[in-house]
Structure 1
C-alpha cells in the first residue's frame, strides 16, 4: 500500500512560524505509520537546510515505526504548524487507528502533549461497535484516553438473535485506556428516542451522579442513581451495578419475588445467580416466609459438548405444619416437604439423542402450596406430574423412540396405586421402496409396551349411579361420584388394569398408486398385523370373578394375527373456470377385507381408549387410536371431496362420507372392558355420516367445521367449528372462535351432552399498547347440575334425613375459564397485567376456581420482575386447613 496517494503540496511562510499546508482537489488519503511518529519527523525550520518534502516526512515516519499499528487519515486539508508542533486535519476528517475510527469536522494533534483534539460533530467508533458522539473530544493519540464534552454513546447488541441498542449520555465524560468510561451526571436507557419529539425523555432511563462503564469487567456501575419513568423519578438507589448489555450471564442477584399467603405469611425470595464457568452455573433462591420459615431452592445448569442438563431442588422444614389438613386429605403430618426436578438432553450422534424430564415430590400438594411451577406439571382439570426418559433415533426414512413414563397424581383424590408405570414403550417405523415387481412403498412398524399398576382403576358409568357422596372438608361440601369397588358389566368400566401388561405389536404393510389413462387413481394395499400379550393381573384388586375370568392366571400368554388386503379408488374431476377458480370433485371408495377381531374384551386396553370418528379417521385402515385394539371385519369407507382454488387465494374444501360394516364381527359393536367402540358412531352396520367444510377467503382468515350426523335420523352427534382471523393491515386484531358440541355417550361415562364455546382475541390499540383476552364457556353445565339435583332428590326420598335438596336455577351459561390482560411493549420495555380464572379438578366434579393476578415488568438490559397474587379462597384440593383468603 503506498504511503502517499494523489497529494499536492505547497510551502509558504506564515508569520512567526512556518506552516506547511497540503491541499488536494479531493480528499487527501494519507497512510501514516503512526500520527505521533509523523510529527516527530518535522523539526523546527532551519534556513541552512532544505525543507524536507511531505513525502520525505511520511516515509521517514513509516520507517521509524515499522511494525506498529498504522493510522489512516482522510481529510480535505492537512495543516502543519511547525512552530507549535501541531498538525490539523480540516474538513470531514476521518482517522482510522486499528479497529477504532474518529470522525469530526476538525482534528488537531499536539505533538508536545500527545493529545488529539476533535471538534464539531465528533463521532468515535471503538472495536466493539459502540458509537460515541460529542461536541468536543480530547483524546490520546491511540483514542484510548481522554475527555469528551456533551457525550452520547450508542452501543449495538444482539440479544437472542435480534439487534438492539442502548444509549449513554452526559455533559462530560472521561475515557481511560479505552476500557473504562466515566459519565458525570450521566443517563442510561435502552429506549429509542422519540422520532417526532427527540427532546422528550425516553420511556425509562437511569440518571446518576456518576455512571462508570467498565468494558474489561463488562459491568456498569451507578452512583447516586434514580430510575425515571416518563421523566418522573420512581425509585432511588445510592449504588448498584448491572452487567454490560452484551453479557448474557453474570454473577449477581436477580429480581426478587414476593410471598403473600394465609399459610405461608409474608415473605420475599431473592435469587442469587452464580456464573461459575461459561458452561455451568448455579442459582440459589432462599425464600423467607413469616409463618413457615425458609424455603430453599437450588438450580444447577450445565451445558456439555453434546447436550445439556439441569437439576432443581426445593425443600423446607415447615414451622407450622398444622395449617395443612392431615392425611389423606393434606400434608399436615409432614414437617419436611420438598421436590426434585431435572431435565436433560444429549445428542449422541447426528441421528440419535437421549434425555429425561423428571419430577419427584414428597407429597402431591407441595408444588401448588409453594407455587413451584414446571412445564411437566398440569394444574387445570387434571393435576399430575409426568416424568419421562427417552432415546430417539431418526434416519432419512426411519424413526425409533424408546421412553419410560412415571405419572404422579397431584389431585387430592388421586390414588397413586392406580397410576401406571410404563417402562419401556418402544416405537420403530421404517419405510423402504417396494421390491420389483411390486414397487410402491413397504412400511414396517413395531410397538413394545410394558406396563405395571398396583390397583385396578374402575369408573362407574354415570347413568347407573343411584346415589351421590357429599363429603365435607373445612365446612365445604363437594360432589364426589362413587366408583366401582368390584367389576360389574353394564355398571362400570375398567380404565386401567392392575398387574403386569406386556405387549409386542408388529405390522408390515405395502401400498402403491396407479394412475390410468383416464386419470383414475388406484391404490392397492395389504398389511399383516401381529400382537403378542403377556398379562399377569393382580387378582387381589378385583374382589370378584367377573374380571379374573377374562384374564385367567392359567393362560398368561395370548396373541392375535390380523392380515388385510384392500383397495382405495379416487377419481378427481378437474375444471378450470378462469376467474371462478379451479374446481375439483373426487369420489373416494375404500374396501378392506380382513378376518374378525379376536379376544374382544378379553385383553387389556391401555392405549386405545380415545376413539374419535370424524373426517380425519374415515379412510384410516385401523380407526382405533392405539395398539391394544385392532379393527377387524370387512368394511367399506365411502366419501367424496370437493375443492375450489382461485387465483386470488380463495380456497374451499368439503368432504362427506360414511363407513359400512360389510361382513364379519364389527369391532366397534362389541365393547371391551373400557367399552371402547360403543357410542362411537361406528357400532352400527352403516356408520354415522361425517363431514368437513373449510373456507379460507385469504391467508388471514380460515373457517373450518367438522360434524357427525346420525345414520338414521341425521341428528347432530358431534360438531366442532372454528373461525381464525387476522384482520391486519385493515384492523390490528387477531381473533379465534371455537364451538364444540358432543352428544351424550352414556356407555363411555358421559350421560349428558357436552357443549362449550371458546373465544380469544388480541387487539393492538396502538403499535405499542394491546389488550388480550380469552373465555371458555361451558354451555352444558346446567345439565350436570340438574342431574345432580335429581340424584340427590332420589337419595333423599329413599332416606329422608336432613333437609331436601334445593332445585337449581336454570342458568345455562357457566364461565369455565377466563384470561383478561392488557399491556405495553416496545424495543426497551414490556409491562403487562393479566387476570386468570380457571377451574380446579373438574375431572372429579369440584367447582372451585383458581384466580390469579400476574403483573410483569421488563426493562430490557436492566432486569425483569413478576408479581403473582392468588385471589382464590381456600379450596378442598390444596390440603390447607384454613379458609382465609390467600
Structure 2
C-alpha cells in the first residue's frame, strides 16, 4: 500500500503533466521527499514532459496554477530547475521561480538568481540577480567562468543577454564575496550566444581589483567551451632599432575541425609589412604544420652589409615545417625543417622556432626521420642539415648528414648458451664542402703572452698545413661514409658465495669510404691533410672479457642495509688500427668518469674503436635505510695491460689525449652521492691525476625541495675542468649554475637562475684563433688581442617573480643572456619580459631590451 505523501506526489505530477483539475486537500499537503516515478512512464517523447518533485504541491483550479514549495525540483529534458518555490501557470505555460533559484543547463552551466520567469521548457525568460557559473577543461585544468547581472533575458536557450553585467574567470572571495575579483570585464550589455559560443561585450571596461584600466567600446571573444574559433588573437608588439616600432595582429581561420590557418601581418615603422602565415592540419595518423615568413624591406641599410649582415637584401624570409605521422603502432615518420634566406632573419625579426639551438652560438637543425620500435628492437633512419645562424659561422664547414641509420636488436641466447645476444648496426654518411679546423695554443707550458697594456692573451698556431702538434681537424671536407656492425653476447652467473661472473664477447666490424676534398676553400688557410687514407678502409675487432662483482651485504636494522662491492673487469682484443688515418666525426666527445669506467668501449661514437687489453678496477659502497636515506661511493681506475693504448695516440681531433686514459694507468675516477630523503639529493664526481692526485675534473650538484617546512626549491651545479691545450682548451674552465623558486604564498612566487663563469678568460678560442691566423697570413695592422673580461663573469642571469591563481598569471622577468654579435665578440643582452594571462580572455607578452649592447647581430648602428 502506498503512503499518502507518495499518492499526493503522483497525483500532483499527473496534474502538472496532463493539465488535470485535481483538488488539493489539506490531508494531501504532506512533507517528505520522493523521486519522480513517472520519469520513464510519462507519455510522449523523452524530454517533452515537465517533471516535478517537491515537499509540497498546491493546486489552484481557479487560477489554473500548480505551486511546488520546499526543495522544488523541475526537470525538462536535460535541464533542471531548483528553487524554494515554483509556480507553474498552465494557461500561459510559464514557470515562476523564487528564492535560491538554480538552473542547470544541458552543458553543465549553472545559472543562479533570486527570481526567474521562464517558459515551461526553461529556454526563454527573464532572470533577476543573475549569476552563471560554467566549468570547462582547458589544457588539463578546470577553468570556471562567471557572469552576473541585476537582470538578464534568456532567449530560446541559445542566448543570454545581461544588462550592466560582469564577466570573470576568478573565484569570489570566500570571506567577503562582495570584494571585486582580481579582474573582471564590466559592460553595459553582454550577450552570450550558446549556439555560436561567442560572448559579445558593448561599452566594456576591464577592471583590475575593481579599478578600471582599459576601455573598449566593443569586442567579442569565444566562450570557454571553444577550443577553436575564427577571430583575432592577442596582438604582439615589436620594437627594435633596425625594424622600428610595430605590432603583429594575428587572425585565426578555423577552416575545419582538422585544419586551420593563422595569418599574422606585422606592421613595422622602419621596414614595412612582415607577412607570416601558419597552416596546421591533423590526420587520422598524425599532423603537420607549415609556417611562411617574408618581408620586402624598405630600409635594408638598417642592417650591416654582407658578410656581417643582410643589408644588401631587399627580400628576406623563412620557411618552417614540422610533420609527425604514425604508420602503425610500431613505426612513425616525420620531419622538422627550417629554411632561411640569411642567418640573421629569424633573430632580427624576433621569430621563434623550437629547432633553433641558442647558447653562445646559434644554429637551425633540420631533420627527417623514420623510426621503428619493437619489443626488444629499435630502428631509426635520419638525415640532418645544419644552418649556422651566427655571423662568424662559415656554412661550408657545416655538414649535410644523410643518412644516419641505427639498428639495435636484443634476443635471448640459444639453448644452454643463454644470456643475451645483441646486434647493433650504424651507417653514417656526411658531406662537407670545407674542412673545419682549429689552431692549438703554441705550447702547452706557456699559454699566454706577456702583458700588453695590462692584458694577456693566448698564442695559437696557424693551420696552413696539418700538423697534429698545431692543428685540429674537427671535420673533413668531402664525403665520408662509414658502416659499422657489432654482435655481442653476455651472461651472468652467481655462485653459492654470491660472486657474480659475467663473461661477454663481441665482434665489431667497420667499413669506411673516405673521399676528402681540398677544393672549395675561400680563405688563405688551406690545410693539407696528407695522412688521411682515401678510398675504402676497414677494421675488425673481436673481443672477449669478464666482469666480476662480489657484493657483501649486511643489514644493521635502523642503520640500514650496507653493501660493499668490489668490481673488476678485463677485456682482451687486438689493438686499434689506422688511428689518425680515418675521419672522426661522431666520437670527439670523450669524458672519462665514473659512468664510463666499466664501458666496453669508452669512445662516444662509432668512428673510433677502443683496442688492446684493458683492465677496469673499482668498487662501490652504498647504504639504504628504511627512512629513505641513500648513500653511494664509487672509486676506480683503468689500466692498459697490453697492446696499443687507443687513447695515447690522438686522431685528427686529438681525441684521447689529455682524457685521463692516455697513460698506462689512468687517472682515478670517483663518485659520491647522498640523499637524506626524497627531497634532497647531492652528487659529485671527480677525476684525479694518477701521479699526484691533482683534480683534473670535478662536478658537484645539489637539488633540494624544502616543502612543506619551507616553500623553496633550489638546485646548484659546480663544474671545474683543467686546461687541455692539446684539445684546444688553453685554460681551465670553471663555472657555477644555480636556480631557485620560492613560493611566498600559494599565489605569489619568486624565481631566479644564474650562470657564472669563474674562469679568468672566456672561451673565445675559435674566434681568436681565426683572427690570429688571418693576421699571420697577412701581417698588417696590429696583432689581435685576447680580451680578458675578468673573474666572475656573469654569463647568464634570470630574476623574476609573479602571481598565479585560477584565473590570472602575471610574471615579470629580467634576463641577461649571451649573444653572438656581428663582430664575433660576446656581449650580454639584457631584457625585461612582462607576461600577463587572463584566462579565457587572452595573454600578452611585452619584451624590452635594456642596457647597452655594443652591436646587435647583423644590425647596423643607428642612422
Please tell me the TM-score bracket, short chain as reference: over 0.9
Query: Given the alignment, which residue of 512, 529, 536 partners 1:557?
Result: 536
1:668 alignment partner in structure 2: 647
2:353 alignment partner in structure 1: 374
Describe the shift of the 1:29–1:263 C-alpha distance in structure 2 as closer, same or farther (beyond 3 A). farther
Match status 1:511 vs 2:490: yes
Tell me, yes or no, if the aligned pair for 2:618 and 2:636 is still in contact at 8 Å: yes
2:18 alignment partner in structure 1: 38
1:494 alignment partner in structure 2: 473
SS at match of 1:331: coil
Quote how far apart the aligned CAs of 1:69 are.
2.8
Describe the shift of the 1:302–1:738 C-alpha distance in structure 2 as closer, same or farther (beyond 3 A). same
Q: How is 1:211-290 mapped onto 2 (pairs within 5 angstroms)?
A: 211-290=190-269
2:734 alignment partner in structure 1: 755
1:404 alignment partner in structure 2: 383
2:33 alignment partner in structure 1: none
Match status 1:713 vs 2:692: yes
Tell me, yes or no, if the aligned pair for 2:442 and 2:461 is still in contact at 8 Å: no
1:8 alignment partner in structure 2: 4
2: distance between equivalents of 1:738 and 1:65? 73
Match status 1:614 vs 2:610: no
Q: Which deviations, in whole Å up to 9, do the C-alpha atoms of 1:829-867 show, x marking residues without a partner?
A: 001111111112399962212222211100000001111
Quote how far apart the aligned CAs of 1:765 are.
1.0
Match status 1:69 vs 2:48: yes
2: distance between equivalents of 1:249 and 1:464? 64
Quote how far apart the aligned CAs of 1:265 are.
1.2
Q: Which deviations, in whole Å up to 9, do the C-alpha atoms of 1:689-743 show, x marking residues without a partner?
A: 0000111010000000000000010000000000100110011111011100000
1:520 alignment partner in structure 2: 499
Query: Given the alignment, which residue of 329, 333, 338 partners 1:350?
Result: 329
Quote how far apart the aligned CAs of 1:483 are.
5.7
Describe the shift of the 1:218–1:483 C-alpha distance in structure 2 as closer, same or farther (beyond 3 A). farther
Q: How is 1:37-116 mapped onto 2 (pairs within 5 angstroms)?
A: 37-39=17-19, 41-42=20-21, 65=44, 69-116=48-95
Query: Given the alignment, which residue of 454, 462, 465 partners 2:441?
Result: 462
Describe the shift of the 1:660–1:439 C-alpha distance in structure 2 as closer, same or farther (beyond 3 A). same
1: distance between equivalents of 2:822 and 2:585? 19
Unpaired runs of at least 5, structure 2: 25-36, 450-456
SS at match of 1:747: helix
1:743 alignment partner in structure 2: 722
1: distance between equivalents of 2:329 and 2:769? 62
2: distance between equivalents of 1:536 and 1:590? 39
Q: Which deviations, in whole Å up to 9, do the C-alpha atoms of 1:813-842 show, x marking residues without a partner?
A: 111111111111000000111111111239
2:793 alignment partner in structure 1: 814
1:19 alignment partner in structure 2: none
Describe the shift of the 1:379–1:192 C-alpha distance in structure 2 as closer, same or farther (beyond 3 A). same
Match status 1:359 vs 2:338: yes
1:581 alignment partner in structure 2: 560
Tell me, yes or no, if the aligned pair for 1:487 and 1:544 is still in contact at 8 Å: no
Quote how far apart the aligned CAs of 1:506 are.
0.3
Query: Given the alignment, which residue of 567, 579, 594 partners 1:600?
Result: 579
Describe the shift of the 1:700–1:458 C-alpha distance in structure 2 as closer, same or farther (beyond 3 A). same
Quote how far apart the aligned CAs of 1:489 are.
2.5
1: distance between equivalents of 2:769 and 2:115? 87
Quote how far apart the aligned CAs of 1:161 are.
2.4
Q: Which deviations, in whole Å up to 9, do the C-alpha atoms of 1:192-218 show, x marking residues without a partner?
A: 111222221110001111111111011
Describe the shift of the 1:690–1:182 C-alpha distance in structure 2 as closer, same or farther (beyond 3 A). same
Match status 1:160 vs 2:147: no
Describe the shift of the 1:6–1:824 C-alpha distance in structure 2 as closer, same or farther (beyond 3 A). farther
Tell me, yes or no, if the aligned pair for 1:668 and 1:683 is still in contact at 8 Å: yes
Query: Given the alignment, which residue of 810, 828, 836 partners 1:849?
Result: 828
Describe the shift of the 1:233–1:273 C-alpha distance in structure 2 as closer, same or farther (beyond 3 A). same
2:172 alignment partner in structure 1: 193
Tell me, yes or no, if the aligned pair for 1:461 and 1:749 is still in contact at 8 Å: yes
1: distance between equivalents of 2:691 and 2:235? 64
Query: Given the alignment, which residue of 757, 766, 769 partners 1:778?
Result: 757
1: distance between equivalents of 2:378 and 2:567? 30
2: distance between equivalents of 1:652 and 1:411? 45
Q: Mean Cα displacement is larger for which, 154-163 or 122-131?
A: 154-163
Describe the shift of the 1:804–1:492 C-alpha distance in structure 2 as closer, same or farther (beyond 3 A). closer
Tell me, yes or no, if the aligned pair for 2:187 and 2:204 is still in contact at 8 Å: yes
1: distance between equivalents of 2:851 and 2:497? 67
Q: Which deviations, in whole Å up to 9, do the C-alpha atoms of 1:457-494 show, x marking residues without a partner?
A: 1100134599999xxxxxxxx99978624322211010
1: distance between equivalents of 2:780 and 2:465? 28
Q: How is 1:635-650 mapped onto 2 (pairs within 5 angstroms)?
A: 635-650=614-629
Q: Which deviations, in whole Å up to 9, do the C-alpha atoms of 1:279-317 show, x marking residues without a partner?
A: 111010111111110000000000111000000000000
Quote how far apart the aligned CAs of 1:240 are.
0.8
1: distance between equivalents of 2:441 and 2:650? 17
Q: Which deviations, in whole Å up to 9, do the C-alpha atoms of 1:539-582 show, x marking residues without a partner?
A: 336899985432344xx001000100000001110010011010
Match status 1:291 vs 2:270: yes
1:14 alignment partner in structure 2: none
2: distance between equivalents of 1:787 and 1:147? 76
Query: Given the alignment, which residue of 419, 426, 437 partners 2:405?
Result: 426
Q: Mean Cα displacement is larger for which, 804-813 or 635-644?
A: 804-813
1: distance between equivalents of 2:272 and 2:119? 58
Name the count of aligned residue pairs: 841
Q: Which deviations, in whole Å up to 9, do the C-alpha atoms of 1:638-663 show, x marking residues without a partner?
A: 01011001111011011000000000
2: distance between equivalents of 1:136 and 1:363? 66
Match status 1:680 vs 2:676: no
2: distance between equivalents of 1:170 and 1:212? 11
Q: Which deviations, in whole Å up to 9, do the C-alpha atoms of 1:111-135 show, x marking residues without a partner?
A: 1111011111111101100011111
1: distance between equivalents of 2:821 and 2:275? 32
2:604 alignment partner in structure 1: 625
SS at match of 1:462: coil
Quote how far apart the aligned CAs of 1:257 are.
1.1
1: distance between equivalents of 2:54 and 2:222? 38
Give TM-score scaled by structure 1 length: 0.90
1: distance between equivalents of 2:769 and 2:310? 35
Tell me, yes or no, if the aligned pair for 1:75 and 1:94 is still in contact at 8 Å: yes
Unpaired runs of at least 5, structure 1: 10-21, 46-57, 470-477
Instruction: Compute the RMSD of aligned alpha carbons.
Output: 3.2
Describe the shift of the 1:615–1:830 C-alpha distance in structure 2 as closer, same or farther (beyond 3 A). same
Query: Given the alignment, which residue of 159, 177, 185 partners 1:180?
Result: 159
1: distance between equivalents of 2:403 and 2:192? 55
Describe the shift of the 1:104–1:412 C-alpha distance in structure 2 as closer, same or farther (beyond 3 A). same
2: distance between equivalents of 1:416 and 1:85? 89
Quote how far apart the aligned CAs of 1:37 are.
4.0
Query: Given the alignment, which residue of 731, 745, 760 partners 2:710?
Result: 731
Match status 1:309 vs 2:288: yes
1:16 alignment partner in structure 2: none
Tell me, yes or no, if the aligned pair for 2:855 and 2:861 is still in contact at 8 Å: no
Describe the shift of the 1:397–1:786 C-alpha distance in structure 2 as closer, same or farther (beyond 3 A). closer
1:12 alignment partner in structure 2: none
Quote how far apart the aligned CAs of 1:77 are.
1.0
Quote how far apart the aligned CAs of 1:625 are.
0.2
